[in-house]
Structures are given as structure tokens and as C-alpha cells.
């Protein structure tokens, strides 16, 4: 009888320890998940707010932009470069062996109409605005854009050719509403 009482007590104790372990883990896990869920609104509140997102499209009239001219438009508080390219510039962008590019992309894949190059004017290195919009700006060896911060150079298709930037200048979503109007975003 003594032995059965002992084994009973032992059994109860063994099961108790396991049950306790499970309860500790389950409580801890529930607490951790709850804390993570509670933290989410705090973290997500720092993402762009509805009014910031609402500024996401802008329409541009291209009619006054002459051949060879480059203009800057503000979209989502970022500069967008709109370049009315000359035939020479288009030809220079086309006549490139894609294998020598860091971020290979054909010029035709970067434009909807060859004479209009539309891209986000932010260097893909660390976010500076490259020079080259004004005729007096330095434009680099490939006559495109030149970033003054760390010396990245882009060609007439906005592709990275030299310097630390890893990628070509980004192409935003845009559509031609008419022959001379675009909507960016």
C-alpha cells in the first residue's frame, strides 16, 4: 500500500510538472503574441498616412516641353524627370550593348514613346537628385545625368553606367492620357 501511495504521488507529481511546463509555455506564447499584436498599430502608424497616399497622382502637360528640354515635376514629394529626348539621345540610348550594363535594360523597355523619357529623379545609391536637368549642369560621360553626391553617372536612358549606384533610375507608373498629357502614378 505504501508503495502504491508512493507511486501515485510520484505519478501525480510527474504529470503536474508537465502540465505546469505546458501552462508556462502557453501563457508565455499567448503573452508574446498579444504583445506583438498590440505593438503592430504603433509600428504601422509610422507608414504613409491616407493623406500622403492621396497625393499619389499628378498630371503633366507635355506640349510646352521642347525637344532637348528636360523638366522636373513633383510627384509624391519626389522629383520626376521628364526629358524630351533628341534623336541623337535616343540613338545613343539604343546603340548600347546590354551586356556592358550593370542593370541591363533595353531603352525600349524604359519608355512608352521613344522621345519621352519619364523617370524618378532620385539616385538609386543614396537618394540624391542627380544633375543634368539644366543644359548648364554636368551630365557625365554619357550625356545623361550626374549625381553630385557620390559620382554616379547615368546615360540618356537613365541607366547606371559608372559610380556606386546599383540600379537604373526608376520608371514610375504613368500613362499617356492624350498625345501631350501624361498622368504619373
Partner 1 sequence: MSEPAWKNPAVKWIDERMPIFTVMRHSAIEYPTPKNLSYWWNFGSLSGFMLVLMIATGVVLAMQYTPNSELAFDSVERIMRDVNYGWLLRYVHMNGASFFFIAVYIHIFRGLYYGSYKTPRELLWWLGLVILILMMATAFMGYVLPWGQMSFWGATVITNLFSAIPLAGKHIVTWLWGGFAVDNPTLNRFFSLHYLLPFVIVAVVFLHLWALHTSKSNNPLGIDTKGPQDTIPFHPYYTVKDLFGLGVFLIVYLGVVFFVPNFFGEPDNFIPANPLSTPQHIVPEWYFLPYYAILRSIPDKLLGVIAMFSSIFVLFALPWLDFSRVRSARFRPVYKKVYWLLLIDVLVLGYVGANPPEGPILYVGRIATAYYFLHWLVIVPLIALFERPKPLPTSIGTPVLGAAAAASARTMEKA
- So which residues are the catalytic ones? 150
Cell of 79: 522629383
Would you say the C-alpha torsion 180, 119, 145, 127 has a positive or negative sign? positive
Q: What are 184's strand-pairing partners?
A: 58, 174
Q: What does the radius of gyration of the chain's CA atoms come to, in whole angstroms?
A: 30
Q: Which of 28, 31, 34, 148 binds partner 1 (CB under 8 A)?
A: 148
39 binds partner 1 (CB under 8 A): no
Q: Which of 9, 30, 35, 52 binds partner 1 (CB under 8 A)?
A: 52
Residue 127, phi-psi category: left (phi > 0), alpha (psi -120 to 50), beta (remainder): left
User: Where do the H-state alpha helices sit in 45-165?
Assistant: 50-54, 87-94
SS3 content of the chain, % helix, strand, coil (to 5): 35, 25, 45
60 binds partner 1 (CB under 8 A): no
35 binds partner 1 (CB under 8 A): no
Segment interacting with partner 1 (CB under 8 A) among 19-27, 46-54, 57-65, 96-104:
46-54
Residue 33 beta carbon to partner 1: minimum distance, rounded to whole angstroms: 22
82 binds partner 1 (CB under 8 A): no
Residue 39 beta carbon to partner 1: minimum distance, rounded to whole angstroms: 14
Binding site for partner 1 (CB under 8 A): 43, 46-49, 52, 72, 74, 76-79, 122, 125-129, 131, 147-151, 164-166
Amino acid at each position: 500500500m505504501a508503495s502504491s501511495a508512493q507511486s501515485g504521488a510520484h505519478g501525480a507529481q510527474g504529470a503536474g510538472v508537465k502540465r505546469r511546463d505546458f501552462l508556462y509555455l502557453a501563457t508565455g506564447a499567448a503573452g508574446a503574441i498579444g504583445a506583438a499584436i498590440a505593438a503592430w498599430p504603433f509600428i504601422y502608424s509610422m507608414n504613409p498616412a491616407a493623406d500622403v497616399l492621396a497625393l499619389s497622382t499628378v498630371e503633366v502637360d507635355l506640349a510646352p516641353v521642347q525637344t532637348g528640354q528636360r523638366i522636373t515635376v513633383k510627384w509624391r514629394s519626389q522629383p520626376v524627370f521628364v526629358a524630351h529626348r533628341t534623336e541623337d539621345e535616343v540613338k545613343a540610348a539604343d546603340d548600347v550593348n546590354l551586356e556592358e550594363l550593370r542593370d541591363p535594360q533595353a531603352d525600349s523597355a524604359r519608355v512608352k514613346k521613344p522621345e519621352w523619357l519619364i523617370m524618378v529623379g532620385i539616385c538609386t545609391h543614396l537618394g540624391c537628385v542627380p544633375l543634368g536637368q539644366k543644359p548648364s549642369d554636368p551630365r557625365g560621360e554619357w550625356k545623361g545625368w550626374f549625381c553630385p553626391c557620390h559620382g554616379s553617372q547615368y546615360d540618356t536612358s537613365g541607366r547606371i553606367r559608372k559610380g556606386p549606384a546599383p540600379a537604373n533610375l526608376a520608371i514610375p507608373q504613368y500613362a499617356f492620357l492624350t498625345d501631350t498629357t501624361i498622368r504619373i502614378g
